[in-house]
Amino acid sequence: MTREEMARMIDHTFLKAAGERDAVERLCREAREFGFACAMVNPCEVKNASRLLAGSGVKIGTVIGFPLGQNSAAIKCAEARLALEDGAGELDYVVNLRLLKSAAAGDCEALEELRAELKSFVEAGAGAETKLIIECCYLTDGEKVLACRLAKEAGFGFVKTSTGFGSGGATVHDVRLMRETVGPEMGVKAAGGIRSLADALAMVEAGANRLGCSAGVAILEEMA
């Protein structure tokens, strides 16, 4: 894999609640310089990032219902539509974990509610790349498989391992399980704890075709 190919797999990310005043400006400058797939920022920064990256070919990504996924479906859809208006081209939604767990336990009403929510999220994000964050660290393998199947059924472009704010990040096991579940056509994004070239390559080998990380520059510098 070349350095350019690796860059095009990375969502260069700054999702902290606090940080230096110029953090987003620096993120966008690096995204433009290195040719990352996407600059991933919090919703309040989408408009600024869109301005900074105009004409670069780098997409603007943001997170919806982040990091807990416990907003109502209506709020998540409204958040998605506003992000699109502000210039976002990629939307990473956080699944409602409690609803997912109830569905996996056999609650038919929860399953249908979750199906309806996921469909509404894809519809609200029409025109953008949509990803469903399933927060693997809190799920059994069976729950992960159900989440991936429902995301594929709803029309999401990707399933994503983690927010980076849970008790654990991406693992090779989870990426491989997700890839086996969704097949070769759907995207799998590994995120959380990817800090080195070795980490990145392990995720790619397991089946990830997108990486969410704040260490993208360091990873590429290892390839120099």
Q: Is 160 annotated as catalytic?
A: yes
Which tokens belong to 159? 């399933």
Instruction: Report the candidate in 186, 213, 190, 214 with the shortest Cα–Cα distance to residue 203.
Output: 190
Kind plus residue range of the DSSP H or E element containing 90: strand 90-94
Q: Is 131 annotated as catalytic?
A: no
Check if the beta carbon of residue 172 is closer than 8 Å to that of residue 136: no
If you write DSSP's letter for every residue of 46-65 in order, what string do you get? HHHHHHHTTTSSPEEEEEES
Q: Is 76 annotated as catalytic?
A: no
**What is the spatial distance between Cα 44 and Cα 48, in angstroms, rounded to a whole number?**
8
Which one is catalytic: 59, 76, 131, 160? Answer: 160
**Is the Cα torsion angle 154, 75, 24, 162 positive or negative in sign?**
negative
Check if the beta carbon of residue 130 is closer than 8 Å to that of residue 154: no
Which one is catalytic: 11, 86, 189, 199? Answer: 189
Instruction: Report the candidate in 84, 79, 186, 183 with the shortest Cα–Cα distance to residue 131.
Output: 186
Look at the block and give the residue holding tokens 């992960």.
144
**What is the spatial distance between Cα 219 and Cα 224, in angstroms, rounded to a whole number?**
9
Which tokens belong to 12? 């260069």
Which one is catalytic: 11, 92, 174, 199? Answer: 92
Catalytic residues: 92, 160, 189
